[in-house]
Amino acid sequence: TLPPSTFATVRGRVLAGDGATPLEGIAVELRGTNSVNTLTTSADGRFERRVVLGTDGALTVRVRHPNSTAFTDLQRTATTQAEVIDLGDITLPVSVISGRVTYGVTAPVSFPSVFARRTGDPSTYFADDSREDGTYVFRGLPAGDYTVTANDDDGVEASIEVTLAGSGSVVT
């Protein structure tokens, strides 16, 4: 057994179902024997936290995208004090739609309002993030056919049709 209050640094990266697209804003729960730490992934999908483990060194990691019902659970055991537990890449079976809204070919629409509607579903999904450079991203949408619509500050609207073939699809 390890001494009481064993510390370990836990790190990893969370990716979309394609195994390549980093997922920002994903809740990562780190559970030791006597502690729970919750943190959020950065823009590059990475997370890192120093945690207190129990004397058995056990660690449970639970990762879930807020728009998805799919959980990914990992079990690890620390064997030495001050160990780094690198979980590597964790792939979540969630889908991603991303793109960039521009005037013409190159001028970005700053912080566009972007939403998606799935065929046959009255729900409206708003982009998880839109940025000054006109980029936007939806994460964790269910499979299906979507109309993605963007608006600028003057109310000019444009739409595209997108298909997410299944869980883990990535469309840009």
Closest CA to 104 of 171, 156, 35: 156
**Structure confidence at residue 128 (pLDDT):** 77
Please give the share of the chain, as a percent, with pLDDT higher than 90: 9
Q: Which whole number is the average pLDDT over 87-98?
A: 82
CB atoms within 10 A of CB 161: 9
The token duo for 9 is 């640094």
Residues 99-153: pLDDT tens digits?
Answer: 888 887 788 888 888 989 988 887 888 887 788 998 888 877 777 889 999 987 7
This prediction's pTM: 0.66
Q: What's the mean per-residue pLDDT of the chain?
A: 80
Closest CA to 27 of 172, 159, 140: 140
Asked if residues 98 and 43 have their Cβ atoms less than 8 Å apart, the reply is no
Amino acid identity, position 86: D
Distance CA 91, CA 72 (A): 8
